[in-house]
Amino acid sequence: MSSVAVFRREHFNAAHRLFNPAWDNDKNNEVFGKCNNPNYHGHNYELEVKIIGEPDIETGYVIDLKKLSDIIKENVLDRFDHKNLNLDTKYFTDLNPTAENIAIVIYNIMREKIDTKLDLKIRLYETDRNFVEYPG
């Protein structure tokens, strides 16, 4: 039987600042522009978690999306929602919180919680016009 992909979309609101601590302020401004605001700015992040596998014969589910939603809430939203990604989480102390890096961090968090027989992909919208996808 062929695989089916299921998607669950969640959102969180967070502040962040993009900069490389190894660079001086001029270099950071040149590269990151207004995203380097030392007082932070923020986004409504839309998170799309994609799980690929075979539907269970008895339920017709690849994964119960209610359970997937709970896993995302406990492991991602509770850590990131209404937080300052640079200051309030442990993930971006040495990692610039670009959309690319946030997606990789979320993938690594989720990968440990999802059955290894299921494939996982992460899509993260920073705005409607800027978004990223990480397939692991």
Instruction: Please report, as ranges, the residues that interact with its own copies according to CB under 8 A.
Output: 2-11, 13-16, 18, 20, 22-23, 31-35, 37, 39-44, 55, 58-62, 64-66, 81-84, 87-88, 95-101, 103-104, 127-136
Catalytic one of 35, 46, 48, 100:
35
Which of 115, 110, 126, 127 has the alpha carbon at shortest distance from 135? 110
Residues 6+ apart with CB under 8 A from 48: 7, 8, 9, 122, 123, 124, 125
- Cβ 116 to its own copies shortest distance, Å: 16
3 state SS of 14 = strand
- Cβ 122 to its own copies shortest distance, Å: 9
Catalytic one of 41, 54, 82, 133:
82
